[in-house]
Amino acid sequence: MNTLKTGLLLTALTLLLVLGGRAIAGPNGMTIALGLAVVMNAVAYFFSDKIALAASGAQPVSREQAPRLYAVLERLCGKASLPLPKLYVIPQAAPNAFATGRNPGHASVAVTAGLLELMSDEELEGVIAHELSHVRNYDILTTSVAATLAGAITWVAEMGRWAMIFGGSGSSRDDDRGGGGLSALLMLIVAPLAALLIQLGISRQREYAADAAGVRMVGYPQGLISALQKLGAYNKKIPMDVPPTTASLYIVAPLSAGPFVSGLFSTHPPLEDRIAALRNLVVTR
């Protein structure tokens, strides 16, 4: 069901981009918007992992430097039949983690120093299983595509705003037939907000799916539930120096903008909802 919802939301983003480009600048605008999306997706596909790791300050670690982390990762990769991803540690006190990479063969898992210090073995296993589930389900690729499509829509709308300021919406023929100017104006206002909400919806669906898949990988929910509770508590107390563009990658959102905004515009579902879903999850061994 989560996969179906994600597919529908990605389709909605694509349609929004095509219709937005058409309404704002006619057929040429649609072509430009699609070309922009292709270029941005190519960049995200090949370079998003390097950008995320560099932005977080993650440093590669060897087996000798992090034996417990390697042991957990190797055990879970064996269970899930996944190649061992590259391992990184982020020198920050707040506990958190993320996975990145375009596919299981080019994946990396990064954890903070605080996570290694504060998590028990069961909790660490739950966190790593969650991140490996993102890798196995190609969630990083999915969310990168969603982000770049949303970015393309916002860019098209911005160009449309400048076009209207300097004397036109880009499609005089549509205006002559009536309604073109109004549709362009609506797209300028509605499209970026709609794109953002759809992108956030995709991200939240993938978090629920990774929680469930991670628990099934481990075989029991208690470790991840305890980890999420601890992550929520510590990330309210210890700030992280994280760029907003990479905050969505983490297992819990390191940034918050207040109850209403964080609920509506957060890339992550509320922790209490995730924990409730895990408590109700039936795990068969």
Active site residues: 131
* Residue 8 DSSP one-character state: H
Distance (Å, rounded) from C-alpha 220 to C-alpha 239? 30
Q: Angle formed by the axes of helices 121-136 and 67-80, to 10°?
A: 50
How long is the chain?
Answer: 285
Integer angstrom CA distances of residue 135 from 160, 190, 285 = 37, 33, 22
Asked whether 100 and 53 are in contact (CB, 8 A), the reply is yes
Distance (Å, rounded) from C-alpha 106 to C-alpha 158? 34
Distance (Å, rounded) from C-alpha 67 to C-alpha 77? 15
The amino acid sitting at 208 is Y
